[in-house]
Amino acid sequence: MSLAPLARSFGAALPPGVLDAAASVMTYGDVLGYAPPTDPAAPALVMAEGAVTHAALVDHALGGAAGAPAPGARTLVVAREPGAFLLDAVATWARDGSLVAVTPDVAALATSDPARWERLVAGERVDVLLADGADEPRTR
């Protein structure tokens, strides 16, 4: 394993106007600081079906077509359409679950290389598979 990703600086001169992300960002802790308050009536998500407000986002996600995974479930979601993905993620987190997000090309392993797909699902300890926001949850 290379230790370069853990370096506190790029280690070489950079062109004018370029920031060294390792030196500028990596020295800060992974802590969310101040987040401005949101207007509960403001749109949190705008989809073809309409807007969902901040106040209604969790309820909308829990009542979505995919339904809510069981409390505490480790849910694999294929990140296809951003709005459906967000709703699946919010529904999972609202039920104190954890999320494994994969791209469509990784999900294609389910048909192109089923053994590799099963290793991935088993290795991530997935309880529920969601292909996208339109599919029903499938428990492993």
**Domain extents in the chain:** 43-139
pLDDT band with cut points at 50, 70 and 90 for residue 64: low
| pTM of the shown model | 0.67
User: What mean pLDDT do residues 13-21 have?
Assistant: 83
Bridge partner list, 138: 129
High-pLDDT (> 70) share of the chain, %? 83
> Mean pLDDT lowest for which of 63-67, 74-78, 91-95, 124-128?
63-67
Q: How many CA atoms lie within 13 A of 26 on its CB side?
A: 12
Looking at residue 133, its pLDDT comes to: 39
Looking at residue 4, its pLDDT comes to: 62
Name the residue with higher pLDDT: 2 or 134.
2
Bridge partner list, 42: none
Spatial separation of the C-alpha atoms in residues 84 and 99, rounded to whole Å: 14
Residues 6+ apart with CB under 8 A from 134: 65, 66, 84
pLDDT band with cut points at 50, 70 and 90 for residue 117: very high
